[in-house]
Amino acid sequence: MPEALRPALLPLLNVLDQIARELDGYDENVQALAEERYPETRWLRQVPGVGPITALTFVLTLSDPARFARSREVGPYLGLVPRRRQSGQQDPHLGITKCGDRYLRQLLVQCAHVVMGRFGPDCALRRWALEHAGGSRSAKKRTVAAVARKLAVLLHRLWLRQEEFRPFPAIG
């Protein structure tokens, strides 16, 4: 740091350091809340890209995993399925319906970006996503929404069955 700027920048750096410490404290509080009051989030937090905030939001939004007969119903409940406007021979690709809880949908999309990102952990979901995301920009957007939907289904299933996450599940 140049000596001439030190008097002006040092107080700003101190404030940023204090804010970072406070944010770390909040992160610890959310983590403790998830572990103590909502132990079922343990099953969700084992999925790569899903942290305590997403797990808590998922559990609190759905409230009871048994309210869905099948895990596949969670995607449409959260508005993560494509809208339809079929007419005759036309079946255009449309955006998602955006029904349901907006915040949880945004968190799941962020988790999908983590899974598909440069440093995403190797798993079957990531491989599927990267295989389908190639090509155009719109293909990547559709794939992000599809991964978010798959994450919602996966999280519901893990919560309902209380089982360990397997990055590469056995087929058959």
Q: Report which of residues 104 and 170 the model is more confident about.
A: 104
Res 172 pLDDT > 60: no
Residues 162-166 have a mean pLDDT of 93
pTM: 0.85
CA–CA separation, 111 and 151 (whole Å): 8
Confidence of residue 117 (pLDDT cuts 50, 70, 90): very high
pLDDT tens per residue across span 55-84: 999 999 999 999 999 999 999 999 998 877
Report pLDDT digits (tens) over 24-60.
999 999 999 999 999 999 999 999 999 999 999 999 9
With bands split at pLDDT 50, 70 and 90, how would you rate the model's confidence at 167? very high
What was the pLDDT predicted at 115?
94
118-146 pLDDT, tens digit each = 999 899 999 999 998 887 888 898 899 99
How does the average pLDDT of the chain come out, rounded? 91
- Give the chain as a DSSP string: --TTTHHHHHHHHHHHHHHHHHHHHHHHHHHHHHHHT-TTHHHHHTSTT--HHHHHHHHHHH--GGGSSSGGGHHHHTT-SB----BTTB-----B---S-HHHHHHHHHHHHHHHSTTPPP-HHHHHHHHHS-SSHHHHHHHHHHHHHHHHHHHHHHHHHT----SSPPP-
Name the pLDDT band for 165 (thresholds 50, 70, 90): very high
